C-alpha cells in the first residue's frame, strides 16, 4: 500500500494547526510556539495513559501488539491505540517534543522532566472505587506522583524555575468515562449508592477537588475533558447485544457535560489567575459517527482489533485478527479511538482553545 496519502494528510494537518496558532492574537509572530506553554502535564485514564500501567501490577496494559502498530518505530508503548494519543499531538504542535512519556518510565531525562510528563493510568477514574476495581493508579495517587515530580523538577532546574514551569504548563485532565461504564453501568457497584444524577454530581465533586489540588500545587492552565458518547463505544453496545448507540448512556453523558460546563467557570472564578477550559470530545466523536465519510472512516461501530466488540487490553493480542487499515476505523479496539480519530479530536480541541482565549481576553 502506498504511503503517499498519509504524508499528504500529515502535511495538511500541520498546515491547519499552524494557521490556527497564528490566530492567537496575544502571541507575537516572532515568538517560538514553545512560548505558549512551558510544559504539558497529563492526568486521567486510558485516553491519555502513555504507558504508566506498564510499570504496575494490573491486567489493564497495552504494551503488546497490535497496539502501537502505527506509532513511531511501530512499537507498543502502553498507549491504548494504534498510534499517538491527543497529549502526544499537543506536545508536538506546541514544539515541545514528539511524544509525552509516562512518569513511571525509568531513567527519564532532565529534558523530559522539564518539558512535562504523563501521570494518567488506563482504567482509572475520579471515583476511587473505579481504580480499585481495575487495579490501577487512582487520581489521588496521580496527584501524589505529581508532588513527587515537582520535587524532582526542583532538583533539575531549581525552586524558582520549577514553580515557573508548573505555572506555565498546559494541564490536561481526561477521566470520568470508566466511572460510569465500569462502576455504574456494567459492574453496577455504585447503583445502590446513587441514582444517575447523584452519581454525576459525586464524580463532578471529585473532579472539582482534583482541580483545586492542582491549583494549590501551582497549576494555572487546565483543560478538562467531558465525557464521550459512551453509548457508542463498541463494548457498551455489545453489553446490551445491540449494534446501535445506547441512547440512555449518551443522554447521561450529555447531562454530565452540561453540568461540567456550568461548573468549570465557577471553579475558575474561585481560583485567582486560573484558566480552566472545557474540552468537548462528545461533539467531534458524534460528528465522526454521523458523518464518517467526511473523516475517511468506513467503520464506526466496531474496533479494528478482533471482532471489534469485545477485544481491548489483555484480549487484544498479537494473535487477534486485525483489520487491514486502522485509519479507516473510528475505534482501534472495542473501547479506544484510533490514531486517526484522536488526530481529528485534536483539531477540534485546538479550535476550542483558540476560541476560549479570544473570548476570555487571557494572554500567555
Which sequence positions are flagged as catalytic?
A: 46, 333, 336
Cell numbers given for 53: 500501567
Cα–Cα nearest to 128, from 203, 227, 23, 70: 203
C-alpha 54/C-alpha 118 separation (Å) is 13
What values do phi and psi take at 130, rounded to 5?
-60, -50
Q: Provide the H-helix boundaries in 158-195.
A: 159-167, 177-178
Max Cα–Cα distance, the chain, nearest Å:
58
Please spell the DSSP secondary structure of 87-130, one letter per residue.
HHHHHHHTTS-SS--BTTSTT--HHHHHH--B---TT--SSHHH
Cell numbers given for 285: 466523536
C-alpha 142/C-alpha 1 separation (Å) is 42
Other CB atoms within 10 A of residue 195 CB: 9
E strands, the chain, are 40-44, 170-174, 221-225, 275-279, 299-303, 329-331
**Would you say 86 and 342 are in contact if contact means Cβ atoms under 8 Å apart?**
yes
Under DSSP, is residue 194 helix (H, G, I), strand (E, B) or coil? coil
Amino acid at each position: 500500500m502506498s504511503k503517499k496519502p498519509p504524508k499528504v494528510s500529515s502535511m495538511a494537518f500541520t498546515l491547519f494547526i499552524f494557521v490556527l496558532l497564528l490566530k492567537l492574537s496575544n502571541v507575537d509572530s516572532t515568538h517560538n510556539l514553545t512560548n505558549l506553554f512551558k510544559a504539558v502535564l497529563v492526568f486521567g485514564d486510558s485516553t491519555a495513559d502513555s504507558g504508566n500501567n506498564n510499570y504496575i501490577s494490573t491486567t489493564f496494559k497495552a504494551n503488546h501488539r497490535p497496539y502501537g502498530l502505527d506509532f513511531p518505530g511501530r512499537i507498543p508503548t502502553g498507549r491504548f491505540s494504534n498510534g499517538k494519543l491527543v497529549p502526544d499531538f499537543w506536545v508536538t504542535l506546541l514544539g515541545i517534543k514528539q511524544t509525552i512519556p509516562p512518569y513511571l518510565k525509568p531513567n527519564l531525562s532532565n529534558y523530559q522532566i522539564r518539558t512535562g510528563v504523563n501521570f494518567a493510568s488506563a482504567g482509572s477514574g475520579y471515583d476511587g472505587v473505579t481504580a480499585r476495581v481495575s487495579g490501577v493508579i487512582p487520581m489521588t495517587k496521580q496527584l501524589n506522583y505529581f508532588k513527587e515530580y515537582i520535587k524532582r523538577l526542583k532538583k533539575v532546574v531549581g525552586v524558582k524555575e520549577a514553580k515557573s514551569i508548573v505555572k506555565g504548563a498546559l494541564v490536561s485532565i481526561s477521566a470520568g468515562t470508566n466511572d460510569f461504564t465500569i462502576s455504574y453501568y456494567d459492574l453496577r457497584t455504585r447503583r445502590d449508592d446513587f441514582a444517575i444524577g447523584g452519581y454525576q454530581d459525586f464524580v463532578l465533586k471529585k473532579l472539582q477537588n482534583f482541580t483545586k489540588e492542582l491549583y494549590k500545587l501551582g497549576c494555572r492552565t487546565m483543560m478538562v475533558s467531558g465525557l464521550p458518547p459512551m453509548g457508542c463505544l463498541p463494548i457498551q453496545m455489545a453489553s446490551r447485544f445491540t449494534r446501535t448507540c445506547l441512547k440512555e448512556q449518551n443522554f447521561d453523558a450529555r447531562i454530565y457535560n452540561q453540568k461540567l460546563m456550568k461548573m468549570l467557570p465557577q471553579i475558575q472564578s474561585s481560583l485567582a489567575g486560573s484558566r480552566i477550559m472545557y474540552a468537548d470530545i462528545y461533539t467531534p466523536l458524534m460528528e465522526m459517527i454521523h458523518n464518517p465519510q467526511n473523516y475517511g472512516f468506513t467503520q464506526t461501530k466496531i474496533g479494528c482489533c478482533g471482532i471489534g466488540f469485545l477485544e481491548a487490553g489483555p484480549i487484544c493480542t498479537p494473535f487477534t485478527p486485525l483489520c487491514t487499515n486502522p485509519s479507516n476505523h473510528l475505534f482501534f479496539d472495542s473501547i479506544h479511538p484510533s490514531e486517526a480519530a484522536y488526530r481529528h479530536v485534536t483539531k477540534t480541541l485546538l479550535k476550542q482553545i483558540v476560541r476560549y482565549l479570544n473570548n476570555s481576553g487571557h494572554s500567555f
